[in-house]
């Protein structure tokens, strides 16, 4: 199967409280998004990589990349990236640029699962009890935590399934916050692949502080091994 990667880097990151979108804030002396880009470019099976970002931020990216414009919603940005992929690409890997601590072993795991199942996502079991609350913040239910997963990226899908999912979403006015949700109403299987709790998404200033610690720790561990 021919692999194409869509790196989603079009968000504004308002919760970060910075004038610069979070995916361009520095981590280890380069923008957050550049870490993911550099990693995906190491994949031997990679055929094409599309970065979804505003034109004024394209200078942040180096390497063999092409660009697509961001949309109003995340799914619009992914759609725009999908339109830029060569028609021969039949397996699509989508990753949030604000997850700079992704690793090659995790990428290979989710890719292999998607090749077998048709769609897969990195995910981790929830560590905490979750409550379903009402509009007036009263507890309505306590879901069984053992069946709940925190979804991460990359998410990898067959291209034809993804395109069918977009058609369904447009027809039913469906808004999703991750990519495999597009195909779930169609009944296609999605494999949950154990990721890593350190594959965090940078959303707040505290997340960036933690990412800096984890990056330094990972670098130190690698250099000392």
CATH of the domain at 32: 3.90.550.10
Share of the chain above pLDDT 90, in %: 83
Q: What integer is the mean pLDDT of 184-206?
A: 95
212 Cβ contact list (under 8 Å, min separation 6): 27, 28
> For residue 177, what are its two tokens?
């916050």
187 Cβ contact list (under 8 Å, min separation 6): none
Alpha carbons 177 and 40: distance in angstroms, whole number: 22
Determine the pLDDT at residue 225. Answer: 34
Determine the pLDDT at residue 14. Answer: 64
- Domain membership of residue 66 as a residue range: 3-224
Alpha carbons 49 and 166: distance in angstroms, whole number: 20
Q: Any idea what the Cα angle at residue 85 is, between residues 80 and 88, rounded to 5°?
A: 145
* Residue bearing the bigger pLDDT, 29 or 162: 162
pLDDT at 223 over 50: no
Total domains, the chain: 1
37 Cβ contact list (under 8 Å, min separation 6): 7, 49, 51, 61, 62, 63, 65, 97
Residue 222 — pLDDT band, cuts 50, 70, 90?
A: very low
Residue with tokens 């940078």: 202
Alpha carbons 100 and 34: distance in angstroms, whole number: 8
27 Cβ contact list (under 8 Å, min separation 6): 35, 100, 208, 211, 212, 215
Q: What is the CA radius of gyration of the chain?
A: 18
Q: What integer is the mean pLDDT of 186-198?
A: 97
Alpha helix segments (H runs only) across 54-134: 74-84, 104-117
Neighbours of 180 (CB within 10 A): 26
Alpha carbons 87 and 30: distance in angstroms, whole number: 32
Q: What integer is the mean pLDDT of 135-150?
A: 94
Q: Is 168 exposed, middle or buried (0-12, 13-18, 19+ CB in 10 A)?
A: middle
């Amino acid at each position: 199967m021919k692999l194409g990667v869509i790196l989603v880097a079009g968000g504004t990151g308002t919760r970060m409280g910075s004038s610069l979108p979070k995916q361009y804030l520095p981590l280890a002396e380069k923008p957050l998004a550049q870490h993911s880009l550099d990693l995906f470019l190491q994949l031997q099976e990679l055929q094409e990589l599309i970065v979804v970002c505003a034109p004024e931020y394209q200078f942040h990216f180096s390497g063999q990349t092409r660009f697509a414009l961001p949309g109003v919603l995340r799914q619009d940005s992914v759609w725009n990236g999908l339109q830029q992929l060569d028609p021969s690409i039949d397996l699509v890997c989508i990753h949030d640029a604000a997850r700079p601590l992704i690793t090659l072993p995790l990428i290979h795991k989710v890719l292999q699962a998607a090749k077998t199942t048709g769609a897969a996502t990195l995910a981790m079991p929830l560590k905490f009890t979750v409550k379903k609350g009402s509009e007036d913040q009263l507890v309505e239910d306590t879901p069984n935590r053992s069946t709940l997963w925190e979804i991460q990226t990359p998410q990898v899908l067959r291209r034809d399934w993804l395109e069918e999912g977009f058609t369904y979403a447009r027809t039913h006015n469906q808004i999703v916050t991750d990519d495999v949700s597009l195909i779930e109403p169609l009944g296609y299987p999605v494999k949950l692949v154990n990721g890593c709790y350190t594959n965090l998404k940078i959303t707040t200033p505290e997340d960036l502080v933690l990412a800096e610690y984890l990056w330094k720790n990972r670098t130190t561990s690698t250099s000392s091994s």
